[in-house]
Structure 1
Amino acid sequence: MSEEPIKDEQASAPTTAPKPGVLSLSIKEKGALYAAYMPFLQGGGLFIPTNRTYKLGEEVFMLLSLLDDPNKLKVVGRVAWITPVTQGGRPQGVGIQFSEKDGGIEARNKIEGLLGGAMKSARPTHTM
């Protein structure tokens, strides 16, 4: 199965106001979703390959498009994981922990429903 990379189309916020970063993500294949999902974070989360700089705890707003679903999920989260550029075979990026409100519960339930039995797999992911 070929794995299409996650598309990260970032919109930068003006530097004059401390607004959360905005990420538009499109994950088209189940394998890519499995590799990006972070079930070990409370409330779940996603790893997003990016070379943009983020700080731990920074708030991020995501527009998520998952597999064939035409509806985008609006999710607020916080940076909970940072993989710098020097991490061997793992891609550089950030892990965003879903908020328990603001779309996070819906996103976690949708992702876990899509992944189903794959959640028990021992295959490596982008983070662990």
Structure 2
Amino acid sequence: MEELHLDFADLKELYRCYMPAMKNGALFVRTARPYKMGHSLALRVTLPDALDALPVSGKVVWITPQNAHSAQPAGIGVVFIDDKYQLQDKIEKLLSGMLESHESTYSL
């Protein structure tokens, strides 16, 4: 399974990439590489101020192609499938004050 590394230096970028509407949690991954819906991936995610990356497996559920009509960057949304390190909970705790914001994200 292909592995992608995501290193979030700050909460603002994590907020832009997090997809809270997905039941099990999901992250937007900026990439120009084309993927197909349902493609399985392994993510290694380093949260702001964390020392270690957390692994989570997932599958592609969102695609923003290059040159989309919006100003959004190209990338994919990866929903969490096997979240044994509770990445979704850790992200939502970090973003607790921001999740109700109306600031734009990469997926909406």
Category of TM-score, reference length = shorter chain: over 0.9
Distance in 1 of aligned mates of 2:83 and 2:59? 13
Moved over 4 A (4+): none
Corresponding residue number in structure 2 for 1:94: 76
Kindly provide the CA deviation profile for residues 100-119 of structure 1, in whole angstroms up to 9, marking residues without a partner as x.
Answer: xx226711001000001101
Corresponding residue number in structure 1 for 2:47: 66
Mapped contact 1:73–1:103 kept (Cα < 8 A): no
Corresponding residue number in structure 2 for 1:33: 14
C-alpha displacement of 1:126? 0.4
More helix, by proportion:
1
1:103 has 2:79 as partner = no
Task: Read off the aligned partner of 1:91 and give its amino acid letter.
Answer: P
Kindly provide the CA deviation profile for residues 11-32 of structure 1, in whole angstroms up to 9, marking residues without a partner as x.
Answer: xxxxxxxxx2210110111000
Count of aligned positions: 107
Unaligned runs of 5+ in 2: none
Unaligned runs of 5+ in 1: 1-19
Q: Which protein shows a greater Rg?
A: 1
* RMSD value, Cα: 1.2
Corresponding residue number in structure 2 for 1:126: 106
Task: Read off the aligned partner of 1:45 and give its amino acid letter.
Answer: A
> Relative contact order (C-alpha < 8 Å, sep 6+): which is higher?
2
Distance in 2 of aligned mates of 1:124 and 1:97? 19
Percent of counterpart pairs with the same letter?
36
